């Protein structure tokens, strides 16, 4: 085979779209080697994938086929909103093994690294751009603009980085309906997306980022209702690592014919699920405080 398959799925809800994307990858992906494979690892399944979620906040929203629980979803939403930005390492300390970036850090303070001294974040680069503020301002001033975009890639760093950002860009545009409500449409591109180990949490996290950070602030400033329209998710490499294929078979693919879809999902707005989600906050913040003490 000379071409990487390009696969496209579209569904109303996140859980439906995610499962359909996994099945498409399983059925039509090709085997690929990765730079992270161990000598005895099977080849990965890979494709280029385009996923459209028409109603991102609608139930059924949560698919059970991701390696985590409801509390982990809440932690990732908080991470995408910046709660772990201070975990980025000091670029001038070769012994510092913390993260080289966070997605929120690249969006909120693009163009610079961060050094942390006594809990105070100091500039460690030539410039800084708050892209989140930029796209909100653009969309308030001109809802139909095609220029409301954020990026993460910093070529002066990421071309030589062992684990550079998978998330590459977020693009926004507002559509107004006949009632005057504005709908935030979003395109998100990943250069690499671990379909089994990360994609669901990525999608869940950025849906809530779009709703709670971008749409909510546009609505506050413009005094016009803003709701989430469709999310288009593009992954240049949408893959299941070879080491994960067997567990993916056991937990999902082998069960498709023997279980109902309703047994493979959670409804996010179910009171019990939502309570677990909301009550996870203090546990997560305590976990972060404990990690801060270690460093």
Q: What is the pLDDT of residue 91?
A: 63
CB 138 within 8 A of CB 145: yes
Q: What is the pLDDT of residue 64?
A: 96
Q: pTM for this structure?
A: 0.94
DSSP category for residue 13:
S
Q: What is the pLDDT of residue 113?
A: 64
Q: What is the pLDDT of residue 170?
A: 98
- Rounded CA-CA distance 14/65 in Å is 12
The architecture in CATH of the region 6-294 reads 2-Layer Sandwich (3.30)
Q: What is the pLDDT of residue 160?
A: 86
Q: What is the pLDDT of residue 21?
A: 98
Residue 257: count of CB within 10 angstroms of its CB: 6
Closest CA to 194 of 164, 166, 157, 158: 166
pLDDT per residue of the chain (295 residues) written in tens, 0 to 9: 799 999 999 999 999 999 999 999 999 999 999 888 888 899 999 999 999 999 999 999 999 999 999 999 999 999 999 999 988 866 666 666 677 889 999 999 998 765 544 455 555 457 889 999 999 999 999 999 999 999 999 998 899 888 899 999 999 999 999 999 999 999 999 999 999 999 999 999 999 999 999 999 999 999 999 999 999 999 999 999 999 999 999 999 999 999 999 999 999 999 999 999 999 999 999 999 988 887 6
Closest CA to 255 of 59, 49, 22: 22
In the chain, what are the domain boundaries? Answer: 6-294
Q: What Rg, from alpha-carbon coordinates, does the chain have?
A: 20
Distance (Å) of CA 157 to CA 48, 69, 98, 111: 25, 33, 16, 10
Q: What is the pLDDT of residue 217?
A: 98
Q: What is the pLDDT of residue 292?
A: 84
CB 217 within 8 A of CB 261: no
* The token pair that represents 145 in the structure block: 């603009």
Within a 13 Å sphere around the CA of 75, how many CA atoms are in the beta-carbon half? 14
Residue 173: count of CB within 10 angstroms of its CB: 18
Q: What is the pLDDT of residue 152?
A: 96
């Amino acid at each position: 085979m000379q071409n990487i398959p390009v696969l496209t799925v579209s569904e109303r809800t996140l859980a439906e779209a995610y499962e359909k994307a996994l099945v498409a990858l399983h059925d039509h992906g090709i085997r690929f080697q990765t730079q992270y494979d161990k000598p005895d690892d099977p080849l990965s399944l890979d494709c280029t994938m385009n996923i459209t979620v028409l109603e991102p906040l609608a139930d059924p929203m949560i698919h059970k086929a991701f390696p985590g629980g409801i509390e982990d979803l809440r932690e990732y939403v908080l991470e995408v909103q910046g709660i772990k930005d201070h975990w980025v390492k000091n670029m001038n300390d070769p012994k510092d093994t913390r993260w080289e970036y966070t997605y929120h850090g690249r969006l909120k303070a693009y163009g610079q690294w961060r050094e942390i001294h006594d809990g105070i974040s100091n500039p460690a680069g030539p410039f800084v751009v708050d892209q989140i503020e930029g796209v909100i301002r653009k969309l308030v001033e001109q809802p139909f603009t095609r220029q409301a975009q954020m990026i993460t890639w910093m070529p002066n760093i990421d071309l030589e980085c062992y684990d550079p950002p998978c998330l590459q860009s977020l693009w926004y545009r507002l559509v107004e309906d006949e009632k005057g409500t504005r709908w935030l449409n979003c395109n998100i591109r990943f250069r690499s997306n671990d379909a089994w180990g990360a994609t669901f949490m990525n999608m869940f996290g950025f849906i809530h980022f779009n709703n709670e950070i971008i749409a909510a602030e546009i609505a506050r400033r413009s005094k016009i209702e803003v709701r989430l329209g469709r999310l288009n998710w593009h992954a240049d490499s949408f893959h299941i690592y070879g080491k994960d294929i067997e567990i993916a078979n056991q937990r999902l693919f082998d069960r498709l014919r023997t279980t109902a879809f309703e047994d493979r999902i959670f409804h996010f707005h179910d009171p019990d699920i939502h309570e677990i989600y909301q009550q996870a906050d203090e546990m997560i913040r305590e976990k972060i405080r404990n990690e801060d003490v270690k460093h």
